[in-house]
Structure 1
Amino acid sequence: MGPDQHSNDLAGFLRARRTQVTPQQVGLPTGPGHRRTPGLRREELATLAGVSIDYYTRLERGKETRPSPAVVDSLARALHLQDDEHEHLRRLAARAARTAPEPQAGTDPDAPDLAQLVGELLLKSDDFARLRERHDVRAHRPGTKHFHHPQVGDLTLGYQSMPLENTPGHRLVVYYADTTSPDHDAMVLLDMLSTPHTPEPADQADAPAHDRRPGAGRR
C-alpha cells in the first residue's frame, strides 16, 4: 500500500471522528439555524486542537502527512478519543509519514491479503461499507462470542487471545465454556460427534467382555 493511501487513511479517520463529535460534547454553542455539517466543523476542531484551520484542512484532505506527536495528541483530545482510538491515530500518522514498520501478512490492515479481502467486502456488503466508513476502533480483548453450529445449535463461548513467541504478529485464540453451562454440554457433544468411531472386529465384538483382549481365542 502506497503513501497516498496511508495519508488517505489518516484523513478518513479524522473526518469520520470529527463528524461524530457534537458541539455540545466539547462545550461549543450550536448557534441559530441548521448546521449543514454533522458533528464539528473543521475550524471548530482546529481551534480546539490549537492548530491553524489551513493546516487541519490539509491533514483532512491528505495533503499534510507529517503531523507531529504533539499535534496528534492534541487532535485526540479534541476528538475525545478513547485510548484504543488514540493509539490507532498514532499508527495512522506514523504510516502516513512512512515511519511505521512494514505490514505483516494476515494481521496488519495494510497487508495485501487483508487489503484484498476488505476490497471484496466493500463491494459485496453495504453493512460492511457503512461500518468501515465510521472508523470505529476497539482493541481485541478477552470477552465472549456467539456461534451457531448446525449440529449443536447456539453457543456462547469465552475467549482469550495470547501472543506466540518468536512469531511476530501471530496470536493463539482459545475458546472455552463454563463447565456448568449448556454451552459446555454442547461442546462435549460436538467433540463426541467429531471423534471418529472405529468399529471393533467382528470376532472381538462377539466375544464375552472378559475375552476382549489381544490374543483372546488363540490357542
Structure 2
Amino acid sequence: MADFLRIRRGRIGPADVGLPTGPGRRRTPGLRREELAALAGVSVDYYIRIEQGRERAPSDAVLDALARALRLTADEHAHLLGLADQVAGRTPRRSASPRPVGPGLRLLLESVRPSPAYVLDEVNDVLDANAEGLALMPGLGDRPAGERNTIRYTFLHPAARTLFADWDRVARNCVAHLHTAELTAPGPTAALVAELTASSGEFAALWRRHEVWVKRAGETAFRHPVIGPVTLANEVLSPAGDGRRVLLYQAPPGTAEHDALVLLAMTTQDVSTS
C-alpha cells in the first residue's frame, strides 16, 4: 500500500489538482506529502505514517479521500481498499476460491464457436478453453492443461511478440490486471510474479509501475500465422462472482473477421482442449 501511494503521488502534479507550482524547480516529482494531505483533509503526520507503512488500519473514509485527491480510477480505488485490507489482516472483500469448471461453462465455450473463448481464474490460468481459443494463441495448447496461463504466454512464449499486433498494450493490460489479483489470490499471484520477474525484464519493469485496471470489453489486433491479420472484439464475463472469468473473442457474422474465425475453426480438428 505504501509503494502504491508513493507511486501515485509521484504521478500527479500540482497543476493537475489546481495547486500553484510555486517558483523555482521542484525537487519532488508529483505532489508533496503535505499537499496530498491537505487535499485529502488529513494531517501531514498521519499521511506520512500511512505512506511509511506505520499506520496499518486507515479508515475507508481516509482512503476514499486519498483516492479522490490522487484522481484514482474506480479500479485503482478498489485496489487501494483491497491493499488496506491486506495490510490490516482483514478478510478480502471478495473470495478467491473459484470452483472447478462445470458443464454449464463448458457448454458455453462450445456454444460460442467459432468464437475463441476461455475460462480464466484470477491470475489468468486457463481453466478451460474451446478449440478455437487454443488455436488463436499458437503454442498455448502445447503446455499441459494445468500449466496454461495467458500472462505467462504473453511474456515468455516467442510466438506472442508476433501474434499481438500491439504487444506493448497487451502486456500492460496483463500486468495491470495481475495487480488486482494480489488482493484476492495472493499466493498464486506471488508465484507467477516471481516466475515472470526472474524471466522477463519487461515484466519486472511494468510490475514496478503499479498500474491497476480491470480488463473489460475492447478490441485486440492479431497477426495470426494461419488466418492473417485480424482485429477481434473481446468481452469479459464474470458468471460466478468468484474470480472466474470468461474471455471471448468475436466478430459479427458476415464480416471478414468472422470469416477468419470460421477458417480458424477449420484448423482445430486435431486440437485438444484438455
TM class by smaller structure: 0.7 to 0.9
Give 1:187 shift.
Answer: 1.2
CA distance in 2, matches of 1:57, 1:129: 27
CA distance in 2, matches of 1:104, 1:132: 24
Does the aligned pair in 2 maintain the 1:159–1:176 contact within 8 Å?
yes
Structure number with the bigger relative contact order (C-alpha 8 A, sep ≥ 6) is 2
Give 1:103 shift.
Answer: 4.4
CA distance in 2, matches of 1:137, 1:153: 32
Matched residue, 1:85 = 76
The alignment partner of 1:134 has SS state of coil
Distance 1:39 1:104, change over 3 A: farther
The alignment partner of 1:62 has SS state of coil
Alignment of 1:58 with 2:132, yes or no, is no
Alignment of 1:32 with 2:23, yes or no, is yes
- When normalised by structure 1's length, the TM-score is 0.76
Which runs of 5 or more residues in structure 1 are unaligned?
1-9, 197-219
Does the aligned pair in 2 maintain the 1:17–1:134 contact within 8 Å?
no
CA distance in 1, matches of 2:79, 2:223: 32
CA distance in 2, matches of 1:15, 1:61: 9
Q: Which has the larger radius of gyration?
A: 1
Give 1:153 shift.
Answer: 2.1
Matched residue, 1:67 = 58
Task: Please identify, of 49-58 and 139-148, the stretch whose mean Cα deviation from structure 2 is larger.
Answer: 139-148
Alignment of 1:161 with 2:161, yes or no, is no
Matches within 5 A, 1:183-198: 183-195=257-269
CA distance in 1, matches of 2:27, 2:205: 20
Matched residue, 1:176 = 250
Q: Percent identity?
A: 48
| Counterpart selection for 1:129 from 194, 204, 221 | 204
CA distance in 1, matches of 2:33, 2:75: 23
Does the aligned pair in 2 maintain the 1:66–1:93 contact within 8 Å?
yes
CA RMSD after TM alignment: 2.0
- When normalised by structure 2's length, the TM-score is 0.62
How many residues are paired up?
A: 186
CA distance in 2, matches of 1:157, 1:121: 27
Does the aligned pair in 2 maintain the 1:91–1:100 contact within 8 Å?
no
Give 1:23 shift.
Answer: 0.5
Does the aligned pair in 1 maintain the 2:96–2:243 contact within 8 Å?
no
| Counterpart selection for 1:16 from 3, 7, 12 | 7
Does the aligned pair in 2 maintain the 1:145–1:157 contact within 8 Å?
yes
Does the aligned pair in 2 maintain the 1:11–1:61 contact within 8 Å?
yes
CA distance in 1, matches of 2:209, 2:50: 18
Matched residue, 2:217 = 142
Give 1:104 shift.
Answer: 4.0
Which runs of 5 or more residues in structure 2 are unaligned?
99-120, 123-180
The alignment partner of 2:23 has SS state of coil
CA distance in 1, matches of 2:61, 2:89: 18
Does the aligned pair in 2 maintain the 1:11–1:62 contact within 8 Å?
yes
CA distance in 2, matches of 1:63, 1:86: 21
Does the aligned pair in 2 maintain the 1:73–1:86 contact within 8 Å?
yes
Matched residue, 1:151 = 226
CA distance in 1, matches of 2:28, 2:195: 30
CA distance in 2, matches of 1:117, 1:135: 16
Does the aligned pair in 2 maintain the 1:14–1:60 contact within 8 Å?
yes
Matched residue, 2:190 = 115
Does the aligned pair in 2 maintain the 1:43–1:53 contact within 8 Å?
yes
